[in-house]
């Protein structure tokens, strides 16, 4: 038991000494942590100095047997205060940065922090319990003096190794922190230059869009607002408008620079678009920025759970959701990309030129497929293509669907390739079970460029990319273009 008590005292002394020195070296962070945990701001400065000094006094008292009991009592009292403060904040769903060891290890206080302090509290309680009965263990200095020279040398070498390891750990933490700050600066520079860091190369060298596949169901979420309210994705969808999720951070420079624009967008374009900010950090800091710029729909993540669900890796970033709750765009990062997507949504749409004449060059079709990739009609050059204009909610399309599937399974000789340009949601299009490529065109813009006015309708495009037929309307006419001679029932 005496060896256990000595180890417990030395471990507590080392931890409190390291914490006290680290807090003195990071006085500003310590004062901020005190207010973040709920203490009045007026007490932040005196407690920011008194707390580390008390920790150092506790560490010193734990060394000597004559003062070890009172040192353990002090350690137990401090640890109980720490446990109570962490528990109260976790119960309220808050995870303030504890700065327990200053800049050596700044991290949000969570369940691991609570568990660590619980173990230390048990150790301090053991020393107090045994010390109250007159046994605090042997003196650390006397124990060292009683060691033979060989063991003393081995112990000293062990201490040196531990010090070196601690120094290496400290250096590694600072190096990682410096790298993190460098990445933040690079991200801010990319954003200011308007670079979009979200396109990543695939195995074959092609670029893939970051984020969830376009047309997939948007992950649901429920987050707290700035005034204690809770807002879910369903609440944002209730207005029946497209939703723009803007991922921001109060410590992100480009995000802060965009806040006046975002506030203006929310006010001017509320009839066309629901804009919601998904931020993180402290409520007070976000509330101050929101009040300054007139922002609404500001939601706070506890950590980065919504960012991870939507595969967002940086700020500021944006993703568009359809009124049906599906992903409507890839993740786009940087102010330039965000301004572009807002401009595309709210700007008046120019009249779409109509191409009807056979022999004219087919208009450009560039739309997202169900898998998220962008498909262009240009990719079908070299073979005849049937462009089918479709809507899963159209009764005539549903009647034609069995014949279309049969044509896919057993196409007649010389049948054209099929490109389905469809309205409706991604899920409703997936449920059709077609094998051909399906791209989404919610506004029916591509159909109007070919002169189509309804569904089902289709047009042939030859191998050179020119219009090869008039627009066929109705199931029988469409299947006739596909090479089926018999009409459908």
Residues with Cβ within 8 Å of residue 447, at least 6 apart in sequence:
389, 421, 441, 453, 455, 457
Q: What is the pLDDT of residue 487?
A: 44
Q: What is the pLDDT of residue 97?
A: 64
Residues with Cβ within 8 Å of residue 228, at least 6 apart in sequence:
none
Q: What is the pLDDT of residue 140?
A: 62
Q: What is the pLDDT of residue 484?
A: 77
Tell me what percent of the residues of the chain surpass a pLDDT of 70: 79
**Over the stretch 281-299, which tens digit does the pLDDT of each residue have?**
888 889 888 888 889 999 9
Rg (CA), the chain: 33
Whole-number mean pLDDT of the chain?
80
Domains of the chain (ranges plus CATH)?
2-146 (no CATH), 208-346 (3.40.30.10), 366-481 (3.40.30.10)
**Is 107 a residue whose pLDDT tops 80?**
no
Task: Give mean pLDDT, residues 327-346.
Answer: 85
Q: Is the peptide bond before 456 cis (omega within 30 degrees of 0)?
A: yes
Q: What is the pLDDT of residue 195?
A: 42
Residues with Cβ within 8 Å of residue 203, at least 6 apart in sequence:
none
**Is 154 a residue whose pLDDT tops 70?**
no
Between residues 189 and 73, which one has the greater pLDDT? Answer: 73
Q: What is the pLDDT of residue 34?
A: 79
**Is 387 a residue whose pLDDT tops 90?**
yes
Cα dist from 354 to 175, 364, 388, 450, whole Å: 60, 12, 16, 6
Tell me what percent of the residues of the chain surpass a pLDDT of 90: 18
Q: What is the pLDDT of residue 146?
A: 57
Q: Are 384 and 461 in contact (CB under 8 A)?
A: yes
Centre a 10 Å sphere on the Cβ of residue 64 and count the other Cβ atoms it contains: 15
**Is 66 a residue whose pLDDT tops 70?**
yes
Centre a 10 Å sphere on the Cβ of residue 153 and count the other Cβ atoms it contains: 11
Q: What is the pLDDT of residue 459?
A: 93
Q: Are 318 and 331 in contact (CB under 8 A)?
A: yes
Q: What is the pLDDT of residue 24?
A: 81
Cα–Cα distance for residue pair 133/125, rounded to 1 Å: 13
pLDDT band at 147 (very low <50, low <70, confident <90, very high): low
Between residues 171 and 372, which one has the greater pLDDT? Answer: 372
Q: Are 287 and 317 in contact (CB under 8 A)?
A: no
Q: Are 254 and 335 in contact (CB under 8 A)?
A: yes
Tell me the backbone φ, ψ of residue 277, rounded to 5 degrees: -95, 130
**Over the stretch 194-249, which tens digit does the pLDDT of each residue have?**
444 444 443 333 334 578 887 788 999 999 998 888 888 988 888 888 899 999 98
Q: What is the pLDDT of residue 206?
A: 37
**Over the stretch 419-441, which tens digit does the pLDDT of each residue have?**
999 987 788 888 889 999 999 98
Q: Are 301 and 223 in contact (CB under 8 A)?
A: yes
Between residues 484 and 450, which one has the greater pLDDT? Answer: 450
């Amino acid at each position: 038991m005496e060896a256990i008590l000595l180890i417990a005292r030395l471990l507590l002394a080392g931890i409190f000494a390291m914490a006290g020195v680290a807090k003195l070296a990071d006085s500003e962070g310590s004062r901020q942590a005190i207010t973040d945990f709920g203490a009045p701001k007026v007490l932040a400065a005196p407690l920011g100095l008194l707390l580390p000094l008390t920790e150092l006094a506790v560490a010193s008292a734990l060394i000597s047997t004559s003062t070890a009991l009172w040192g353990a009592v002090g350690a137990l009292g401090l640890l109980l205060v720490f446990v109570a403060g962490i528990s109260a904040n976790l119960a309220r769903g808050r995870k303030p940065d504890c700065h327990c060891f200053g800049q050596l290890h700044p991290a949000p206080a969570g369940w691991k922090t609570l568990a660590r302090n619980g173990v230390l509290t048990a150790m301090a309680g053991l020393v107090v319990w045994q010390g109250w009965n007159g046994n605090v263990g042997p003196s650390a200095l006397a124990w060292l003096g009683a060691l033979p020279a060989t063991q003393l040398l081995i112990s000293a070498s062990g201490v040196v190794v531990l010090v070196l390891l601690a120094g290496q750990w400290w250096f590694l933490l600072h190096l990682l922190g410096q790298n993190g700050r460098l990445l933040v600066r690079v991200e801010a520079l990319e954003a200011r230059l308007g670079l979009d860091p979200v396109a990543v190369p695939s195995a074959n060298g092609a670029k893939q869009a970051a984020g969830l596949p376009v047309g997939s169901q948007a992950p649901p979420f429920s987050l707290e607002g700035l005034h204690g309210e809770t807002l879910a994705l369903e609440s944002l969808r209730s207005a029946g408008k497209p939703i723009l999720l803007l991922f921001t951070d109060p410590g992100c420079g480009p995000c802060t620079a965009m806040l006046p624009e975002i506030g203006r967008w929310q006010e001017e374009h509320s009839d066309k678009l629901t804009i919601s900010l998904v931020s993180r950090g402290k409520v007070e800091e976000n509330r101050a920025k929101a009040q300054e710029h007139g922002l609404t729909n500001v939601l706070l993540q506890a950590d980065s759970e919504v960012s991870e669900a939507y595969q967002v890796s940086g700020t500021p970033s944006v993703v568009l959701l359809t009124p049906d709750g599906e992903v409507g765009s890839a993740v786009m990062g940087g102010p330039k990309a965000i301004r572009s997507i807002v401009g595309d949504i709210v700007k008046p749409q120019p009249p779409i030129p109509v191409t009807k004449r056979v022999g004219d060059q087919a208009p450009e079709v560039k739309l997202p497929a169900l898998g998220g990739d962008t498909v262009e009609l240009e990719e079908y050059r070299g073979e005849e293509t049937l462009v089918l204009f479709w809507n899963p909610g159209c009764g005539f399309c549903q009647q034609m669907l069995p014949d279309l599937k049969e044509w896919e399974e057993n196409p007649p000789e010389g049948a054209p390739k099929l490109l389905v340009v469809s309205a409706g949601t991604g899920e409703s299009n997936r449920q059709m079970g077609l094998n051909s490529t399906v791209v989404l065109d919610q506004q029916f813009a591509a159909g109007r460029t070919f002169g189509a006015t309804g569904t089902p309708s289709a047009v042939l495009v030859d191998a050179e990319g020119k219009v090869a037929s008039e627009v066929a309307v109705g199931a029988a006419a469409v299947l006739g273009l596909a090479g089926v001679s018999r009409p459908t029932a």
